[in-house]
Amino acid sequence: MRLDYGVLALGATFLPGAVAWGSLGHITVAYIASHFVKDTTMTYFQELLRNDTEHYLAGVATWADSIRYTRWGRFSKDFHFIDAKDAPPSYCGVDFDRDCKADGCVVSAMANYTAQLLDAGLWPWRRNQAAKFVVHFVGDIHQPLHAENVAQGGNAIHVKWDSSELNLHHVWDSSIAEKMLGGNRRKPYDAAFKWAANLTEAIKSGKYQASSKSWAEGMILDNPIATSMVWANESNSYICTHVLPEGPEAIVGEELGGEYFEKAAPVIELQVAKAGYRLAAWLDLIADRLSGTTLPVGEL
């Protein structure tokens, strides 16, 4: 079965109350990851995802958004976020027991799909799906409003963006990144490819060279909950400092395209870079573990 991810993902962004880190962010995260994975990791996931081009991760990065509003994919709708019940701006923080819903959250989903990727007894099509979910959810965790409960992750907060009306969640999903790259893109893959090349350079030899050393520290393949909780908590901390620095009431109706944007842009850039780098490290851990087994990826 072949799905046209591009068309489906575009459709999803027009659904009311859609809560998806924009496709630009997700695709960029995937391209960055593909610059950092080991060759053996690339080979494994290219086979599993049945795509031997450099776009093998980018091409599946928005799949999870394309299915979440379908009858089949509805089970996954709560897997894209964790609703931190904190009190910005005075207190931020995520607590797994308090904040992960009974039917799941992005942190439990990371655990579920990582376990599926490592399960030799599962059909290759199940592990293929698990890979697509993991690529997507590592991106989601790094968008601060995917780790916050206030006003449905900011979806119910109306603000102004260069004079048009938007909700705060959309601003952080898409508008900030799009404005940084010079406006709304009809071709997110091209824009993401270039942005990913720049951020990869920044990690290897530019402004993130020193700090990136610690980004993949403390990752434990056998404890995906603890690992992704560190990412979620860090992402959520930006709610108090950059997303709602004066609290949720004060931001209603405010124009965010100016000074607010200037402060938010470096956060978006850093979070996208981190997500890509960490996704690569996580996929490396998975592929390394599997290389010690004789797990078949299936007849292709």
> Which part of the chain contacts ligand NAG (CB under 6 A), choosing from 61-69, 143-151, 194-202, 284-292?
194-202
Active-site position among 80, 127, 170, 185? 80
Active-site position among 86, 127, 136, 170? 136
CB 228, CB 79: distance < 8 Å: no
276 scored as a contact of ligand NAG (CB under 6 A): no
- Give the whole-angstrom CA distance, residue 300 versus residue 298: 6
Residues 6+ apart with CB under 8 A from 160: 166, 253, 254, 255, 256, 257
Active-site position among 142, 169, 170, 185? 169
- To the nearest whole angstrom, how small is the minimum distance from the Cβ of residue 260 to ligand NAG? 20
CB 276, CB 284: distance < 8 Å: no
75 scored as a contact of ligand NAG (CB under 6 A): yes
109 scored as a contact of ligand NAG (CB under 6 A): yes
Q: Which of 13, 43, 46, 198 binds ligand NAG (CB under 6 A)?
A: 198
55 scored as a contact of ligand NAG (CB under 6 A): yes
Q: For residue 17, with 0-12 CB atoms within 10 Å meaning exposed, 13-18 middle and 19 or more buried, which class applies? A: exposed
233 scored as a contact of ligand NAG (CB under 6 A): yes
Any catalytic annotation for residue 26? Answer: yes
Cβ distance to ligand NAG smaller for residue 210 or 300:
300
Structure tokens at 277: 């780098």
Any catalytic annotation for residue 63? Answer: no
- Token look-up 């007894």 returns 121
Helices (H), the chain: 5-13, 23-36, 39-48, 63-67, 96-99, 106-117, 124-141, 151-154, 168-170, 176-180, 188-205, 224-238, 248-251, 259-291
Residues facing 160 on adjacent strands? 165, 255
Number of residues engaging ligand NAG in binding (CB under 6 A): 18
Q: Which of 59, 88, 248, 257 binds ligand NAG (CB under 6 A)?
A: 59
Q: Which of 23, 66, 108, 271 binds ligand NAG (CB under 6 A)?
A: 108
163 scored as a contact of ligand NAG (CB under 6 A): no
Contacting residues toward ligand NAG, per CB under 6 A: 51, 53, 55, 59, 75, 92-93, 104, 108-109, 112, 181, 194-195, 198, 230, 233, 237
